[in-house]
Amino acid sequence: MKLQISGMNCDGCVQAVKEALLEIDGVDVVVVDLESGTADIQMSSADISIDQLVISAKLAGYGATLAGD
């Protein structure tokens, strides 16, 4: 799954988004790209909703929406 993340402007932002998403049980791998403003998320649980991911990013201080490929 890929999210479009807004509000990132440095490597610290990338790390904050990555850590926030990895706190969700069932999220295994998060690759955040500052240049494209995206987060690629690999999950082992199908029970994780898009809303959970978006809320987690927002609680870390960043906007998030489902990205179209």
Contact in structure between 4 and 35 (CB atoms under 8 Å): no
Q: Which pLDDT score, from 0 to 100, does residue 20 have?
A: 98
pLDDT above 70 (res 47): yes
Spatial separation of the C-alpha atoms in residues 60 and 16, rounded to whole Å = 7
Matching CATH number, 2-66, of 3.30.70.100, 3.65.10.10, 3.40.640.10, 3.90.1200.10:
3.30.70.100
Q: Model confidence over 59-68: pLDDT tens digits?
A: 999 999 999 7
Provide the residue ranges of all domains of the chain, joining segments of one domain with +: 2-66
pTM equals: 0.93
pLDDT band at 45; cut points 50, 70, 90: confident
Q: Can you say how many angstroms the Cα of residue 29 is from the centroid of all Cα atoms in its chain?
A: 10
Q: Model confidence over 13-29: pLDDT tens digits?
A: 999 999 999 999 999 99
Please provide residue 37's backbone torsions phi and psi, each rounded to the nearest 5 degrees. Answer: 70, 35
Question: Rounded to the nearest 10 degrees, how much is the dihedral formed by the CA atoms of 46, 49, 55, 60?
Answer: 20
Both tokens assigned to 9: 């402007």
pLDDT above 90 (res 46): no
